[in-house]
């Protein structure tokens, strides 16, 4: 399991707490430092609401958030646009907004 995590985000910290308290083994993946893992781009880009449209990086270069190719390219080049937290497990992914939503795949 991989959790796309930003430690400065309260929702993301709550997701880490949920996973830790559940006793599951997971990778705390700090995407702002590491970028988006190539192997996760496909599943992430298919999630509705994966782009943070309130970020300046989106506002300055708006694109069609329904175009998976553009979403994938944007996530790869501007990881800050990734909605967080996101948990990926066994080919499934869920955005943790609210954080309890991640329980659906653990």
Domain boundaries, the chain: 2-105
Query: What average pLDDT does the segment 82-105 reach?
Result: 97
Which residues does residue 89 pair with via DSSP β-bridges, in sequence order? Answer: 92
CATH fold for domain 2-105: Glutaredoxin (3.40.30)
Report whether pLDDT(96) > 90.
yes
pLDDT in tens, 33-90: 999 999 999 999 999 999 999 998 898 888 899 999 999 999 999 999 999 999 999 9
pTM, two decimals, is 0.94
Give me the catalytic one of 1, 2, 9, 65. Answer: 9
Q: Which of 1, 58, 13, 5 is nearest to 31 (CA)?
A: 5
Which residues does residue 51 pair with via DSSP β-bridges, in sequence order? Answer: 82
Confirm whether 72 is a catalytic residue: no
Which residues does residue 93 pair with via DSSP β-bridges, in sequence order? Answer: 88
């Amino acid at each position: 399991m991989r959790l796309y995590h930003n430690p400065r985000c309260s929702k993301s910290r709550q997701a880490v707490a949920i996973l830790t308290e559940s006793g599951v083994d997971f990778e705390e993946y700090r995407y702002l430092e590491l970028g988006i893992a190539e192997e996760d781009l496909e599943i992430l880009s298919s999630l509705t609401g994966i782009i943070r449209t309130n970020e300046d990086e989106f506002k300055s270069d708006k694109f069609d958030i329904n175009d998976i190719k553009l979403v994938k390219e944007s996530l790869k080049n501007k990881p800050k646009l990734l909605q967080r937290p996101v948990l990926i497990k066994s080919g499934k992914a869920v955005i943790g907004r609210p954080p309890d939503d991640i329980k659906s795949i653990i």
